Chain A
Amino acid sequence: MAQMKFMCDAERCIECNGCVTACKNANEVEWGVQRRRVVTLNDGESDEVSISVACMHCDDAPCMAVCPTDCFYKTDDGIVLHDKDLCIGCGYCLYACPFGAPQFPKQNAFGERGKMDKCTFCAGGPADSKEEEYEKYGANRIAEGKLPLCAEMCSTKALLAGDAQTIADIFRQRVVQRGHEDGAWSGNARADADNLAYDAAQEG
């Protein structure tokens, strides 16, 4: 069984925010909520580094552990999803999450926050119809056999999404070959100009 994970290669991220935009567009996320964010450390300094962050779909998810309504669940693919019909907007997941993934459309008096929204790994959520699912949670690309749009659209392939083992292998190969004179691009039959996405994923 796959264990879906995101991984952002900080050496490659150029803080173009394409992932943020792609996510917003793919999921029609409501106003005020931005499921993915790009963090830049030491901006403008020589050691500047950027990394794209959203829900990390933790194995031992803190949001899941503290939710008073128990609205979270983990899919067979290891994706952490939540049921908006059960969410009461208490904000506990927001307190617990180390990555700032859960967000609320409102922040009003008497704890009126509305329903929590977070990255679904483009896997939608529980609903009676496809329309309702899209309305509440956004796209379900996983059901269509596609990966999250943020990673698919990442221009430098910094953001990887997929089975943990696969993306770990990709990253490992990058680390090993990083700085190599061919930059790990050559010797890959599928690494042509139109198909750069497959560069390091394939054996050389």
Chain B
Amino acid sequence: MTVSTPWRLVVRRLSLIAVLLMAGLLLSQLTVAQSDPDKEAGFAVPAVDADIWRQVRSGDTGPNYRDSRADSNYNLVNASGETWRQWRNQWVSPYGLIVLGGMLAMIAIFYVIFGRKALDEPRTGRKLLRWTVLDRSLHWSVATLFLVLAVTGLNLLYGKFVFKPLFGDALWASMISGSKLLHNYLGPIFSILLIIVLAKFLKHNLPKKHDWEWFKKGGGLIGKGHVDAGFANGGEKVWYWLLASVGLLVIASGFVLDFPNYGQARDTMQWANLLHAVAALGLTAVAFGHIYIGTLGTEGSIEGMSTGYVDETWAKEHHNLWYEEVKDSARDETELASENVQRHPPDNPATDRPG
């Protein structure tokens, strides 16, 4: 149909297009010349506007986010870091100190007012096996590791305020790097041992009905009275279950922090760090109580965890239900002592001499 379009028409159309183009070019030139800089700026600026910054702050990167650093998992601005810093420095750090100091002060005041809880009756001299060698080895291994981890952990949180100005950079450098190494390498060993201890002592720590009575009477901590208790009393069970809950939380969060090789996100480690610090500071405060009651606070308790044996009187007064179960196995302390001598004869230089 258009095959026979006359040439005249084609020329006219082309010239019309040319005129329109020229006009368009002229008009666009005019527009540029007349534009005011403020308006132009509005067009020239790509959208680095409030919305973009809001998106950046939210941590949402979107599919078209690029970072030229290899393996970078950072947004442009990572606001969570500041949140973590505020939580750690404004809350965990000062309140941790208050909790630990408060606990020590309470124990000191308690000791001054009520003193050591002595045995009411004289000792019978007959001993009951309370903790086997394995129990004691596990206890003291976990206890030692707990103390090392607590001291090094506290040094990581508070040391710079005390020891850096006190000792100077050189000593402080080895002190703090030693703390970190001990904390990071002993932590996993502590974790494994604590889980073994929890499994081994579980049977003693299942809640019983008489534990409720024990709590209602405050464990007989103050005054002369004694409350029913089996192998473990209510307080010991609380310590056990704190370790089985908060302790495991410390372990879990510790593993998150200790093994960055698994590539967990920084935000995960921030929360793990806060949980780890709060839970560990809390456990340390309770541990002060456990240590006090086990050593200075109660006559005869430390004997159980050092020699394995406790006196009948101690068992009767502190763990009467357990005493009823095992009283037939009581042995005289002189008998035990001679047995001990046979097992570990004292050095006799005369026998070493030849001839």
Which residue numbers of A lie inside 8 Å of B, CB to CB? 10-11, 15, 17, 20, 34, 37-49, 51, 53, 62, 65-70, 83, 85-86, 88-92, 94-100, 107-113, 175, 177-181
Which residues of chain A are within 8 angstroms of B46 by Cβ–Cβ distance? 11, 46-49
- In chain B, what residue has the closest Cβ to A180? B37
Shortest beta-carbon distance from A23 to chain B in Å: 11
Which residues of chain A are within 8 angstroms of B75 by Cβ–Cβ distance? 39
Q: Indicate whether B134 reaches chain A with its CB closer than 8 angstroms.
A: no
Contact status B66-A39, CB under 8 Å: yes
Contact status B258-A96, CB under 8 Å: no
Which residues of chain B are within 8 angstroms of A49 by Cβ–Cβ distance? 46-48, 52
Which residues of chain A are within 8 angstroms of B173 by Cβ–Cβ distance? 69, 85-86
Q: Indicate whether B169 reaches chain A with its CB closer than 8 angstroms.
A: yes
Contact status A69-B172, CB under 8 Å: yes
A98 and B79 in contact, given A68-B156, A69-B172 (Cβ under 8 angstroms): yes
A68 and B78 in contact, given A41-B56, A180-B37 (Cβ under 8 angstroms): no
CB contact between B65 and one of A41, A65, A112 (< 8 Å): that residue: A41
CA gap between A200 and B261 in the complex, in Å: 47
Q: Indicate whether B41 reaches chain A with its CB closer than 8 angstroms.
A: yes
CA gap between A168 and B266 in the complex, in Å: 32
Contact status B65-A86, CB under 8 Å: no
Shortest beta-carbon distance from B53 to chain A in Å: 10
Q: What 8 pairs across the A-B complex have the smallest Cβ distances?
A: A179-B40, A100-B74, A179-B41, A47-B47, A37-B69, A40-B66, A70-B160, A38-B68
Max chain B Cβ within 10 angstroms of own Cβ: one of A20, A83, A88, A97:
A88
Shortest beta-carbon distance from A10 to chain B in Å: 5
Q: Indicate whether B67 reaches chain A with its CB closer than 8 angstroms.
A: yes
CA gap between A108 and B65 in the complex, in Å: 28
- In chain B, what residue has the closest Cβ to A11? B45
A66 and B88 in contact, given A98-B81, A109-B259 (Cβ under 8 angstroms): yes
Q: Indicate whether B76 reaches chain A with its CB closer than 8 angstroms.
A: yes
Contact status A45-B273, CB under 8 Å: no
CA gap between A94 and B75 in the complex, in Å: 13
Chain A contact residues, majority secondary structure: loop
Contact status A62-B81, CB under 8 Å: yes
A100 and B72 in contact, given A11-B48, A113-B260 (Cβ under 8 angstroms): yes
Which residues of chain B are within 8 angstroms of A40 by Cβ–Cβ distance? 64-67
- In chain B, what residue has the closest Cβ to A38? B68
CB contact between A109 and one of B62, B67, B176, B261 (< 8 Å): that residue: B261
Contact status B76-A53, CB under 8 Å: yes
Question: Between A and B, how many residue pairs show CB distances below 8 Å?
Answer: 163
1/0 per residue, CB under 8 A from A, across B51-94: the answer is: 01001100000101111111010111111011011001100000
Give residues 9-60 of B contacting A (CB, 8 Å).
Answer: 37-48, 52, 55-56
CA gap between A194 and B139 in the complex, in Å: 76
Instruction: Give 30 CB contacts A-B under 8 Å.
Output: A11-B44, A11-B46, A34-B68, A34-B69, A34-B70, A37-B67, A37-B68, A41-B65, A43-B64, A47-B46, A48-B46, A49-B47, A68-B176, A69-B164, A69-B173, A70-B164, A85-B173, A95-B273, A97-B78, A99-B77, A100-B74, A108-B261, A110-B185, A110-B259, A111-B258, A111-B260, A113-B260, A179-B40, A179-B43, A181-B37
CA gap between A19 and B63 in the complex, in Å: 25
Q: Indicate whether B180 reaches chain A with its CB closer than 8 angstroms.
A: yes
Which residues of chain A are within 8 angstroms of B88 by Cβ–Cβ distance? 66
- In chain A, what residue has the closest Cβ to B66? A40
Q: Indicate whether B159 reaches chain A with its CB closer than 8 angstroms.
A: yes
Contact status A47-B185, CB under 8 Å: no
Contact status A179-B78, CB under 8 Å: no
Q: Indicate whether B269 reaches chain A with its CB closer than 8 angstroms.
A: yes
- In chain A, what residue has the closest Cβ to B72? A37
Give residues 77-124 of B contacting A (CB, 8 Å).
Answer: 77-79, 81-82, 84-85, 88-89
- In chain B, what residue has the closest Cβ to A107? B260
CA gap between A107 and B259 in the complex, in Å: 8
A20 and B68 in contact, given A69-B172, A113-B260, A179-B40 (Cβ under 8 angstroms): yes
Shortest beta-carbon distance from B19 to chain A in Å: 28
CA gap between A177 and B128 in the complex, in Å: 92
- In chain A, what residue has the closest Cβ to B161? A70
Contact status A110-B69, CB under 8 Å: no
Shortest beta-carbon distance from A112 to chain B in Å: 8
Known: A34-B70, A97-B78. 11 other contacts (CB 8 A): A11-B44, A11-B46, A39-B68, A39-B75, A70-B164, A83-B169, A86-B173, A99-B78, A178-B41, A179-B40, A179-B44
